[in-house]
Amino acid sequence: MSVSKINMAALVRSSFGLFKNSILNTAIRSLSTSKPLNIKEIREHKEGTKLVVEAVSLPSPRKDLLVRADNIDLPSSNCEHESSVKEPCYMCALGLDVKHTDVLILSQFVRSDGCMLPRRITGLCRRQQKKIGKMVSMAQKAGLMINLTPAWCKKDPKKRKDYKKFNTYFDEKTIFWKRIPDQNDKWKR
């Protein structure tokens, strides 16, 4: 029973994929299903005595460099969502084993002062947001993203105080601690 269900699901998905592909392939590539992403920049300039502040919409500089799992047929995305209905977020779908030393990836999720972007902007799932946030702070503590720090910070990790000036590395396994069930809590087990 379950096997047939899975098969059906796979069939439906593949047929849908074919359908989507057929549309997309015939269409021009620049046309996308979602709106083309824009980004705002605040510009200030003076016209005579007036100070004009305007927000200009610009195309995102990251558009051409985006990597999405839909475009690559990954063998299996190791997403940990229980319900297959829920769409995995783009980071889950890629299935990358990101470590805190992968600063090129982590630096995409931070502002120029090294702050982690909130979830409504990153668009990650809860779990990934937590994970990436922790890894960003790990990379900051290890001094790997030292140029993405507030201006008052020392820009050389060796000049930091006390124990902070020595090299530190982190274990990504410590981000999610496994919950140890309480022995006395018999109702929840």
Partner 1 sequence: MSAFKRVQQWATFARTWHVFDCKWQDPYDSAQVIKKYLMGLHKPIYHPTNDCGDVVVCINSRDIALRGDEWRKRAYFHHTGYPGGASWTLAWELHNKDPTMIIRKAIYRSMKGNLQRRHTMERLFIFPGEDVPQDIMQNVTNQIRQLRLVPTRLDHIPEEEVQKYPKVMDYPQDYVLK
Partner 2 sequence: MSNKHLFLNSGFVRAPLQNGVGRYVCQLQRIVLKFCKTHGSCRGLRDFIEQDLVDFAKQNPGVVVYLKPRRHRGPVAVAEYLNGDRVWMNLANKTHSEITKWIEVLRTQQGDIASTRLRKYQYTDHPSIQGPWTPFTFKNPELNTAVLPDQKFGANDRLPMSATEQLRLMFEKQKLEEGDVKTAE
Binding site for partner 1 (CB under 8 A): 35, 37-42, 55, 57, 60, 62-63, 65-67, 90-91, 94, 96, 101, 103-105, 107-109, 111-113, 120-124, 142-148, 155, 162-163, 166-171, 174
- Note the Cα 156 to chain centre separation in Å: 27
Find the part of the chain contacting partner 2 (CB under 8 A) among 12-20, 32-40, 94-102, 125-133: 94-102
Residue 65: helix, strand or coil by DSSP? helix
| Cβ contacts of 163-167, under 8 Å, gap ≥ 24 | 167/142, 167/143
Contact between 180 and partner 2 per CB under 8 A: no
Among 32, 72, 166, 169, the residue binding partner 2 under the rule CB under 8 A is 72
Calpha distance 41→64 (Å, rounded): 19
Q: How many residues bind partner 2 (CB under 8 A)?
A: 17
Whose CA is closest to 128, among 177, 81, 68?
A: 81
Q: 95, 61 in Cβ contact below 8 A? A: no
The nearest distance, CB 69 to partner 2, in angstroms, is 8
Interface mask toward partner 2 for 40-59; x: CB under 8 A: --------------------
